[in-house]
Amino acid sequence: MTATYHVATAGPVTGAIPAAPPGSRTAQPRAYLMCRPDHFTVRYTINPWMASGEPVDQALAARQWQALHDAYTGLGHAVQLIDPQPGLPDMVFAANGATVIGGTVLGARFRYAERAAEGPAYLDWFRQRGFSPVHESHRVNEGEGDIVHAGGVILAGYGFRTDQAVKQDLEELFGLPVTSLRLVDPRFYHLDTALCVLDAGTVAYYPAAFDEAGRAALAAQFPELIEATGEDAGVLGLNAVSDGRHVILPAQAAALAGQLAARGFEPVPVDMSEFRKAGGGPKCCTLELRP
C-alpha cells in the first residue's frame, strides 16, 4: 500500500538539514498490538478532550479503527489483537498498556482509577504469549503514551500522567539513556499527543506543549525537527505512527502531511475523529512490539 498526500502550504521546519527527496526514507517492518473498540465510549472525564460531552458514534468508531488496522497490514506490518474487556472503554488505546523494547515489557500503572484495570489486562496478554521478562511498574506510567523509543534513546514525558522518576526504571530495564520532557499544556497530556518520532534522527513536535528545557533537549538530541502548527496539534495530528517512511496520521492534519511529504516521508491519512473525543488518535490505538 502506497499513499500520497498533496498539500500546497507547509508550516515551519527547524534545523539546517535540506529537505529529503521523495522516497529517500526507509520503511522498516513493524509489529503492533491493537484492541478492538467494542466497548469504546466517553463516560468519564480525565483529560480536556473528554469534557465536550459529544457522544461517540460507535459504528463509525469501529470503521475508523478497522481502517487504521488495514493501513498497517496493507503496509506489510504485523498486527496482533488483545481482547477488549467490558467496563474498560479506553482499553482501545493500546499504546498506554505497556512499553516493549528488546522483548522486555514494562507494564503500565495508570494515574486514574477509571483505567487502572487496563494494566493487569495487558500484562496478562504478554505473559500468556511468552514475552519475557515482563515487569510490573511500581511507579505511575502510562506506557507508550509517555514513553517513546527513539533508536538509541528513550523520551519520557511527565507532568500530567507519568511520574518523572520512572526515568530510573526505564534506564535500568532497557539499558538506554532517557531524556525527560515536561509537558505543560493539559490538552497534550501524553507525550504522544505532542510528538512523533519519525526516524532515529527526525522528530515532529508541537513546541508549545513543552517547557524551555524540553525544547532545548529535543534540539540537542535530534538533527531534524519538524514543527507542527497549532491547528494540526489541535486535531492531534502528532498522534501518529511512523515506520521510517510511511507516517499514519490523522487526516485532518493537512499542513503537517505537507511538511512530512516535503521531507521525504509518505503521509498515510486516516480519519480517527471519533477517538479524538476521548483524546486519542492513531498512535493511541497502537502499541509497538519491539523484539
Catalytic residues: 190, 284
Q: What phi and psi values does residue 227 have, to the nearest 5 degrees? A: -90, 120
Report the DSSP pairing between strands 31-35 and 178-182. Answer: unpaired
Question: CA-based diameter of the chain, in Å?
Answer: 50
Report the DSSP pairing between strands 224-227 and 202-205. Answer: parallel
